[in-house]
Amino acid sequence: MRVLHVSEALGGGITSSILAMVEATPQIDHHLLARPRSGHETGADVGAAFGSVALLPHDPVRAVLSVRRQARELFPDIVHAHSSIAGAVVRLAGLNGPRVVYSPHCFAFERRDLSRVQRLAYAGIERALAPRTNVLLAVAPNEIDLAVELGHDEVCYAPNRGAEPKETVRHRDPLHVVSVGRLCRQKDWRYLLHVKRYAETQLGLDATWEWLGGGDPEAERCLSAAGVQVSGWIERRDLLRRMSRAQAYLHTAAWEGAPISVLEAAALGLPLALRAIPALDSLRLPGRCDSVAELAHRLETLQDPQRWQAAQRQSLALAATHSRAEQGRRLVDAYERAQDRPARVDMGSRPARVLTLAPDTARVAGRETAVGGTGR
């Protein structure tokens, strides 16, 4: 089987997610058509992971033509689009031979920095393009429900996963709290400042705070002024090394898909303190909290070694459910199901079918559907 991956925003978590998929399916011939996101390099040798790598043009029309050209040259069985813009480009290309698999990695209309009108417009575009998708491959269970609402009639699930470190972190005093990501509105670094202020002034928490990543200069200045160390953008190998020095992972994003950083923190054995949002709730991640105060109290409890160890066991259990073997099995299943679909998707309406769901069950059209089952 040959798969052409397409991404207009290669960098950071998207890079890690795609490379993890490639690593989990060595029996597949993988190729890449992508546009790198400047300033978000992970340090990974992307070229070594693929049979070929080509540059996706920035101009939308040229990007569509590039997808068509690559499809003619490579004859892929599957074209796998990663993220909303790539999903639109691939589905507008009108591919007749290869089947189209689409992973939104968080739909654009889930963004909270857009107006209601903009979100409705993005949702309308997704709904219009749904019939041109052979399989929507979700990386978080909440994407399954959203996909069905948009009209997708074939939905599969494959978990994201983080690195597989050789050792786990240990409890130390004082608590070292770390956050990871590009400093932008999505990651909501201001929310972290509220958590830090509450933990220190209301609970007397003695901890060191670090943000691994860079981005918005104002964010870097504000965090530094508030006593949060900011690393700037660093390569993934250095990122994991510095994460392994921490004792707790704090995630304050306002919207997400299935963040690799959370899974990598869990694999390291870092106790999690996570702002509860739909994507993380759907993954049933441990350490979710509904407010600034709850997050601060969660971190405060981690000063106790026994509670810290209990939280670490939860993280390691989470990491075990997002394994390379499980991801590879589900990816192959999704690609094979896509190949079983007709080349041209009927524009008419169909009952929703949801396949290969996880972690346990997913709600589709008002009913519970078991893992690996089919809901109609």
What per-residue confidence (pLDDT) applies to 45? 65
| Cβ-contact 3, 338 below 8 angstroms | no
Given a contact cutoff of 8 angstroms between Cβ atoms, the answer to whether 132 and 91 are in contact is: yes
Structure tokens at 37: 């996101």
Taking a C-beta distance cutoff of 8 angstroms, is the pair 99, 334 a contact?
no
- Domains defined along the chain, listed by start: 2-161+324-370 (3.40.50.2000), 175-321 (3.40.50.2000)
In this structure, what are the phi and psi dihedrals at residue 327, rounded to the nearest 5 degrees? Answer: -60, -45
Regions of the chain where pLDDT drops below 70: 11-12, 37-45, 343-376
- Tell me the HSE value of 197 on the side-chain side, using a 13 A CA sphere: 11
Residue 205 near residue 303, CB atoms below 8 Å: yes
pLDDT value for 371? 30
C-alpha 360/C-alpha 371 separation (Å) is 6
pLDDT at 38: 56
CB of 214 within 8 A of CB of 282?
no
Confidence at residue 106, expressed as pLDDT on a 0 to 100 scale: 85
DSSP codes, 295-363: HHHHHHHTTSHHHHHHHHHHHHHHHHHS-HHHHHHHHHHHHHHHHTS-SSPPSS-----B-S--SSEEE
Dmax over CA atoms of the chain, in Å, equals 63
Residue 361 has phi, psi (to 5 degrees) of -140, 165
pLDDT number for residue 346: 42
Our measurement of the distance from residue 85's CA atom to the centroid of its chain's CA atoms, rounded to an integer in Å, reads 15
- Residue 37's pLDDT is 66
Token digits for 287? 């350490």
Q: Please give the distance of CA 115 from its chain centroid, rounded to a whole number.
A: 23
Answer for the pair 5, 30: CB distance below 8 angstroms, yes or no: yes
| Helix, strand and coil percent figures for the chain, each rounded to 5 | 40, 20, 40
Q: Find where tokens 């240990």 sit.
A: 170
pLDDT tens digits, one per residue of 245-279? 999 999 999 988 788 899 999 999 999 999 999 88
